[in-house]
Amino acid sequence: MSDVTTSAKQPLIATETGRVVSDKMTKTITVLVERRVKHPLYGKVVTKSNKYHAHDEASVAKMGDLVEIKACRPFSKTKSWALSKVLEKA
């Protein structure tokens, strides 16, 4: 038998950092997350981007803000991220 001790570990919650590109929806922001990856064959560094809809309950994030979002339960068909904090105002 393996000796497993239970400890109060923090759960691994996915977080991303990106720019708010739209705040026109009610309680929802669109966040553009860019990441730089190396091409597997050619070795060139390319910028890949994804857009996520994130829940913003108090509508604190505005267009151009740098924000951190975290994965959560689905709020709707396309929205399964929530705003965790605003890192930098536009």
Segment 62-82, tens digit of pLDDT: 999 999 999 999 999 999 999
86: pLDDT confidence band, cut at 50, 70 and 90?
Answer: very high
Q: Is residue 6 part of a domain?
A: no
Q: Is residue 5 part of a domain?
A: no
> Residue 29 and residue 82: Cα distance in Å, rounded?
9
Q: Is residue 19 part of a domain?
A: yes
- For residue 1, pLDDT over 80 is answered with no
From the CB of residue 67, how many other CB atoms can be counted at a distance below 10 Å?
23
Range of the domain at 54: 15-88
Q: Is residue 62 part of a domain?
A: yes
Following CA atoms 69, 70, 73, 79 in sequence, which dihedral angle do they give, to the nearest 10 degrees? 20
Q: What is the pTM of this model?
A: 0.82
Q: Is residue 53 part of a domain?
A: yes
Q: Is residue 9 part of a domain?
A: no
Q: Is residue 1 part of a domain?
A: no
Q: Is residue 4 part of a domain?
A: no
Q: What is the pLDDT of residues 20-34, one digit of tens each?
A: 999 999 999 999 999
The count of structural domains within the chain is: 1
Q: What is the pLDDT of residues 31-55, one digit of tens each?
A: 999 999 999 999 999 999 999 999 9
13: pLDDT confidence band, cut at 50, 70 and 90?
Answer: confident
> Domain containing 19 — which CATH number?
2.40.50.140
